[in-house]
Homo-oligomer: A and B are copies of this chain.
């Protein structure tokens, strides 16, 4: 089966937005794709007809099995190209995304398999995000940066990327230690700082830089 660029972009957006199997709202999708809700409704009907999404009016949408498979293969293409751009063509990690957005829609299976082999089967892209393998499996790293968590995620602090005295001092002040359970309350887009909460303390804000240094392991829901 072959899909249009627009269809692929919708699938990718739904994949990005649907965390924990909750349905994705029409408005949220419109915002993500920088389009109008009416257009989203139109497209959801088409995607439903193609059995890529589960959708009923006013109930939001989810990816079907087929849809998830497609989403993973698009993410795979995107991240392999990002890796290629950064590794082979000397792009900075913050320049790769835009170009990869275009390259990801070139769908030759052979191309992607050979690119993967050429790059040495990398498992993470330049942003640290996992690259699905050819069967769609992704390696979930046990340690991730605190910045990769999303609001309401809970995790256990398990390591530090930077162990300088300044850093340790800062964490000490905030009662953050190895083993501490952290919950993310909010992410502030304008500076990417996080409001987090730890047991028996009032919520507080930490900067993106600090959050980058804190490595955590996902915790099962409480």
The answer to whether B115 and A89 have CB atoms under 8 Å apart is: yes
- Binary CB contact string for chain A from 180 to 207 against chain B (1 if under 8 A, 0 otherwise): 0000000000000000000000000000
State the CA gap A174–B110 with chains docked (Å). 43
Q: Does A99 contact B (CB under 8 A)?
A: yes
Bits for A76-93, please: 1 = Cβ < 8 Å to B, else 0: 000000000100111100
A50 interfacial by beta-carbon distance below 8 Å: no
The interface stretch among A18-26, A101-109, A164-172 is A101-109
Question: Which chain A residues (27-43) contact chain B, with CB distance < 8 Å?
Answer: none
In chain A, positions 100-143 with a C-beta closer than 8 Å to chain B are 102-103, 106-108, 110-111, 114-115, 118
Please, which residues of chain B bring their CB within 8 A of the CB of A114? 89-91
Copies in the complex: 2
Q: Let me know if A89 and B102 touch, CB within 8 A.
A: no
Once the chains bind, are B106 and A99 in contact (CB under 8 Å)?
yes
CB distance from A115 to the nearest CB of B (A): 6
| A108 near B99: Cβ-Cβ < 8 Å | yes
Q: How near does chain B come to A190, taking the closest CB pair, in angstroms?
A: 27
Neighbour of A102 across the interface among B95, B98, B108, CB < 8 A: B108
Closest chain B residue to A111, Cβ basis:
B99
| Interchain Cβ contacts under 8 Å between A and B, 20 examples | A85-B111, A88-B118, A89-B111, A89-B114, A89-B115, A89-B118, A90-B114, A91-B110, A91-B114, A95-B110, A98-B108, A99-B108, A99-B110, A99-B111, A102-B106, A102-B107, A102-B108, A103-B103, A103-B106, A106-B106
Interface residues of A (CB under 8 A from B): 85, 88-91, 95, 98-99, 102-103, 106-108, 110-111, 114-115, 118
Known: A89-B114, A89-B118, A102-B107; 9 extra A-B contacts, CB below 8 A, are A85-B111, A89-B115, A95-B110, A98-B108, A99-B106, A99-B108, A102-B108, A103-B103, A103-B106
